[in-house]
Amino acid sequence: MEEEMKKVNTVKGSIDVEELGLTLIHEHIFNNYPYYKEQENTDFALKQLNLLKKFNVKTIVDLTPYAKFSPYKNLIENCNDFNIISSVGFYLDKFVPKQYKIDNVETLVNKLSKKIECGVGSEKCRPGVIKIAAKNESLSRNELKFFEVASILQQKYNIPIATHSPKGALNHIKTLINFGADPNHIYLSHLENSFNEENFNNSMNNMIKVTQTGASILLSNFGFNENGKRCINSADIAKYLKDYGYLNKILISADSYWLWKNNQIKIREQRKNQKVEKNILYTFNHIIPALRKLNFSEEDIHEILYVNPYNIFN
């Protein structure tokens, strides 16, 4: 009997994992913008997404775990050229709903299970990724609780976990594994943010240990100056992973988002004092050129953008 193909939840229903195509696996489309500006939000988001067509992007993973979908009904209905995968879970402490901080593990598992099984809001958008975050290497009591919830949900529904782990990724993945999570379907984000010239070798050793568990690494911060320290560090991280035989564990995405400021839409800026926008094209305009400079082939880049995300979801 032929094995049934794995399904992936998107905001418009489930798809076969084979339909993912080129995937940007860490973005933010459904941020908590002023919901009364529904039409402006929809128009702008569609404009941003349409920029991706020439790069053959097929799937975008939104890692905004508390998104409400009612204000984005028009966006969801009109976004026919992309698969959008939403997330559920927990971000940093100041963004966590107060009730989640009070609820115990069992209650949170039940609440989030309903979202995964029945969907979120009147649109019934079923999330396809579990998001968790930690501020530091050591986990707070609440963070530990959320990591346990994420691990239980992953085992229950066989969907990936994405972490926000700029510090302490090795401890984070060990904690998830101890709770029973499958590292082959976990990707940890922003590890490159804690790298510098002084700690590069030690940090790289820890990153290799993360990949040795089976987990993947999401790189999103390459700065804007191809000769700058941030770009060089992040590109070197990717090269080290490739040279150590872990090309299959590299993921890239922009981690782009936008917001309203002074009644105007503003795209994320890399630094407060920079005017260069980190928009949704950042992966193609900054990250991929940096990798090509270090002799990443087109086959390598194809593996990073197509094959590795597929393996996360499959």
Residues at the annotated binding site?
Answer: 26, 28, 131, 164, 190, 255
Query: CB of 180 within 8 A of CB of 152?
Result: yes
Cβ(14)–Cβ(8) under 8 Å? yes
CA distance 177 to 303: 26
How far, CA to CA in Å, does 220 sit from each of 70, 100, 146, 290, 309? 29, 28, 24, 12, 15
Question: d(Cα 216, Cα 309) in Å, to the nearest integer?
Answer: 9
Pick out the residues of the known binding site for Zn(2+). Answer: 26, 28, 131, 164, 190, 255
Closest CA to 174 of 218, 222, 129, 138: 138
Q: From CA 151, how far away is CA 176, in angstroms rounded?
A: 6
Query: Helix, strand or coil for residue 154?
Result: helix
Three-class SS state of 270: coil
Q: CB–CB of 313/251 below 8 Å?
A: no
For residue 143, the SS3 value is helix
Bridge-based pairing of strands 161-164 and 22-27 is unpaired
| Maximum alpha-carbon separation in the chain | 60
What distances in angstroms separate CA 305 from CA 77, 113, 271, 285, 312, one per listed residue? 26, 29, 26, 14, 11
